[in-house]
Structure 1
Amino acid sequence: MSTTTKTFATTLGRSLRARVEALMDTARPEGPAFLAAVGGTEIAKATGVGALEKLCKPLIVPAALTLALRDGRLSAADTALLSATAAAYTTGDVILMLGGGHASRSKSRLVAGAAAFGVGHLALGGLMLRSGLRFKPVQSVVHGVIAAGAGAALLSEGRENAPLAAYGGLLATLSALATSVDRSHGPAASVLAVAGPVFLLSDALILARRKATGGSAVAKVVDVGVIDTYATAALLLLTGTAAAARTAGSRP
């Protein structure tokens, strides 16, 4: 492992610890609110209490956005892009949640949810580019292979999965850009290196969940796993991109 890689890994570890500490900071309500929203959604998924999910899940991303915005001042344009991302993600959450959640077999609702998330990915990707992130060859190739494999698997089930395959390509592109983060974007932005892949994992679990038997222990475990990975990815994407934007804005 090169010195540069070791240094970045150390920075990433410290930034992740700092993010956890921010969540535990009871002096500010945003962190505990995020944890409460995630915890309530986990319980709802594990117990099947739909009312609790409807109360908690739509609060996850707004709480993450508040955490991202409280860390420091952003320009009006950066704030607008970050807020548009959060609004699109929350819309996607509501669309999927009201349609049977992760267990839904409805392709149309899944496509509608993916479209909402796609809008958020485009807004966030625009902010990343605006903040100086650029695609790196290795990350691009790896994510290209992932997108191609996932797309081929979806299309093998039927051409009606084409919108989902396209969404997977968009998410892989966002993840490739996020994982291209380096020291020039500031220490706090280093969390983007894990944010994109975790989001990919979350969406992969959603597809896997649709094949599980409803109400089974496996289905409930996967449901909770989807929430854990999604909430983690959303938090790190929003806070990491905001940090990169602040670093870019502080340059002369």
Structure 2
Amino acid sequence: MTTKATTTRSALDRVRQALTERVGVLADTSRPEGPAFLAATAGTEIAKATGIGVLEKLSKPLIVPAALTIALRDGRRDGLPLRPVDTALLSATAAAYTTGDVILMLGDGHASREVGRLAAGAAAFATGHLALGALMLRSGLRFKPVQSAVHGVVAGTAAAVLLAEGRENAPLAAYGGLLATLSALATSVDRSHGRGAAVLAVAGPVFLLSDSLILARRKVEGGTAPARALDVGVIDTYATAALLLLTGTAAAARHAGSRA
């Protein structure tokens, strides 16, 4: 029991340290991509809170590219650049996520009840999840039983709720299963994948939370205070998850490359 508690505490300490380092990079004005990420996220939050559509269109598509830049430039700081295939997979992930952002943004955003548009956005994000999952596997991450079981329950519950609303939600239920699978893989990270990869333990669940908030937002009347709070919450969690997924996976890939 004592050994298990010590192991858990050690894992939490690694995650806390990795998150602290990530915050430090965002605040580092000598690296413009950090402030750019914060500005893009804040601009989108303000747009969602105030309903200024133009500001959202200027800000939201920049969130993931800024996060990608941070992930790529981390290698220069650490002296461990990514291998070409790893860079390609990470860039494909960012391109797919940004495409999904644009597809959803040009509709009714988080409030959209149009299953076709949501499915198109989900397809774009699913492409990114597959590319990122492939990179995680290349970097040595493997599914662990407990994480897989927990995420299986989450995916099953979400699918049941969506399908109860209508069979047309089947593509969204399938997407939820894929995201839960990615999160299960991400949360299977351990010390063998390098210090910077520890943020993956947080990234997957936060992405799941973000998409859960989108589902909740569809039930709330637009223009109300709860609706705007949910919109801002979606952006907060999404930007955080995207940043941690990209940088954490890049860190795992660089660590694996250093041992190759």
Q: Does 1:189 align with 2:200?
A: no
Pair 1:51-2:89 in alignment: no
- Superposed displacement of residue 245, structure 1: 0.2
Q: How many residues align?
A: 252
- State the identity %: 78
- After TM superposition, list the pairs within 5 Å mapping 1:35-114 onto structure 2: 35-72=38-75, 73-114=81-122
Check if 1:22 corresponds to 2:25: yes
Deviations, residues 164-209 of structure 1 (Å, cap 9, x unaligned): 0000000000000000000000010000000000000000000110
Q: d(CA) in 2 for partners of 1:28 and 1:117?
A: 28
Q: 2:245 corresponds to which letter in structure 1?
A: L
Residue-by-residue CA offset, 1:108-140 (whole Å, 9 max, x unaligned): 000000000000000000000000000000000
Show the counterpart of 1:171: 179
> 2: distance between equivalents of 1:3 and 1:79?
36
Offset of residue 2 of structure 1? 2.0
Q: CA deviation at 1:8?
A: 1.3
- Matched ranges for 1:87-236 at <5 A: 87-236=95-244
Question: What's the secondary structure of 1:2's corresponding residue?
Answer: helix
Q: SS state of the match for residue 113, structure 2?
A: coil
Match of 1:12 among 11, 15, 19: 15
So what's the TM-score if we normalise by structure 2? 0.96
In structure 2, stretches of 5+ residues that fail to align are 76-80
* Cα offset, 1:28, TM superposition: 1.0
**What is the one-letter code of the residue matched to 1:27?**
S
Structure 1 stretches of 4+ moved >4 Å: none
TM-score when normalising by structure 1: 0.99
